[in-house]
Amino acid sequence: MIDVPGKIFALDGDYAIVRVQESGCGRCHETGGCGGTNIATLFCHAPRSFRVLNPGNSAIGDSVSIVIDEGAVRRSAALAYGLPLLLLFIGALGGSALAGETGAIVGSVSGLFFSWLAMRFALLRGTPDQRSQPYIRS
């Protein structure tokens, strides 16, 4: 589990809007930490806010810990990077087989377009995988 401390500053039904000060997993100062927080502060100094599930009905002003399953980050990255890359190659190979170099270019652009459509449809569908949802640990 990856957890990040934060503070609730608004409520939205079953969700809470939590302001987080640090970026990344927060393990920068541990042995083997990547130092991602140090790099992130170069680009963004403002506190970041997230809308997360609030199963314990925490109140505004409570200090909480936001938790997300470690596999969720890997699954999301595989989908966000893997699907476009896979469809790019499939489009390029199919286009190349049908119309040579021009077909490969058109096929790869088409593959990227269809991956964008698939991601957009999944986002608009509105039924996200609950395992990928961050939540407040009560």
What DSSP assignment string belongs to 53-118? E-TT-PPTT-EEEEEE-HHHHHHHHIIIIIHHHHHHHHHHHHHHHHHHHHHHHHHHHHHHHHHHHH
Same domain (yes/no): 45, 57: yes
Q: Residue 22's pLDDT is what?
A: 62
What tens-digit pLDDT sequence spans the chain (138 residues)?
677 888 888 888 888 888 886 655 556 666 666 655 555 555 556 668 888 888 888 888 888 888 887 777 788 888 889 999 999 999 999 999 999 999 999 999 999 999 999 988 877 776 566 667 777 876
Say what the pLDDT of residue 73 is.
78
Three-class SS state of 20: strand
- As a residue count, the chain comes to 138
Strands 2-12 and 15-20: antiparallel
Domain assignment present for 9:
yes
Let me know whether 56 and 81 are in one domain.
no
State which amino acid sits at residue 112.
L
Q: What is the pTM of this model?
A: 0.59
Looking at the structure of the chain, the number of domains it has is 2
Residue 99's domain comprises: 70-133
Among the three residues 44, 68, 92, which one is the final residue of a domain in this structure?
68
